[in-house]
A = this chain, B = another copy of it.
Amino acid sequence: MKINYPNGTKLETKKIGDKSRGMTFEHDLNTSNEYYRIHNIAIIYKKPTPVQIVKVDYPARNKARIVEGYYQTPSTTDYNGIYKGRYIDFEAKQTENLSFAFKHIFDHQVNHLKKCKDMGGISFVIIYFKKVNKVFMVDIDPFYELYLHGEKRGISIGDLQNLEKEKKAYDVKMGFAPLIDYIKGIDFLYF
């Protein structure tokens, strides 16, 4: 179904393809999300980083300049949105190692993902292993289990490959458009 919306949509096309793969994982995910939006496949956005604003100056009328602010810990996860009518929620992480250490994700983020899943949503963690240029998605249920009760302090590529056999994780192939086609992983894991 192709729908023409009066404004806004067209503008988004500009950014696609003007940066090559691998700049940053976040950039690549955002570009993939743009691709999904333009093609009416999914509507998924990265949430803005929360900033605690302490002091604002007004150098001109209607112009506010923040002159003191601090980064805050996000209440939830990086990304959420809708695909095939379902609620999607995920956290994106990257690591230099061959195992993603659990200390690099917050308790409240893991809990948030688990709650979203329990409420009928689709929740996962997507991890970029820089060293081997690989991206894996893992459903929140096994991740939560390992995070809470696992003997190891992280989740390795080997763990993820084993989970893929049970349809609980997915090795995301890199492409050109979209760069990180994780929607294929959502189809594989949930549909």
| A residues neighboring B (CB under 8 Å) | 1, 3, 5-9, 37, 40, 42-43, 45, 47-51, 53, 64-72, 74-76, 80-89, 107-108, 111-112, 114-116, 118-121, 148
Check if A81 sits within 8 Å of B75, measured CB to CB.
Answer: no
Check if B45 sits within 8 Å of A107, measured CB to CB.
Answer: no
Check if B48 sits within 8 Å of A115, measured CB to CB.
Answer: no
Check if B69 sits within 8 Å of A8, measured CB to CB.
Answer: no
Check if A43 sits within 8 Å of B6, measured CB to CB.
Answer: no
Q: How far is the CB of A32 from chain B (nearest CB, A)?
A: 15
With contact pairs A43-B112, A69-B65, A70-B64 given, residues A82 and B120 touching in the complex (Cβ less than 8 Å) = yes
With contact pairs A85-B119, A118-B3 given, residues A68 and B71 touching in the complex (Cβ less than 8 Å) = no
Q: How far is the CB of A29 from chain B (nearest CB, A)?
A: 14
Check if A115 sits within 8 Å of B66, measured CB to CB.
Answer: no
Check if B66 sits within 8 Å of A51, measured CB to CB.
Answer: yes
Q: How far is the CB of A103 from chain B (nearest CB, A)?
A: 14
8 residue pairs of the A-B complex, CB under 8 angstroms, read A6-B148, A7-B111, A8-B112, A48-B51, A65-B70, A66-B66, A82-B87, A86-B87
Q: How far is the CB of A179 from chain B (nearest CB, A)?
A: 19
Q: How far, in whole Å, are A8 and B89 apart by their CA atoms in the complex?
A: 18
Task: Indicate which residue in B3, B70, B74, B112 contacts A66 across the interface (CB closer than 8 Å).
Answer: B70
Check if A5 sits within 8 Å of B66, measured CB to CB.
Answer: no
Task: Indicate which residue in B6, B8, B76 contacts A45 across the interface (CB closer than 8 Å).
Answer: B76
Check if A107 sits within 8 Å of B51, measured CB to CB.
Answer: no
Check if B64 sits within 8 Å of A71, measured CB to CB.
Answer: yes
Q: How far is the CB of A73 from chain B (nearest CB, A)?
A: 11
Task: Indicate which residue in B8, B84, B86 contacts A108 across the interface (CB closer than 8 Å).
Answer: B8
Task: Indicate which residue in B65, B72, B108 contacts A7 across the interface (CB closer than 8 Å).
Answer: B108
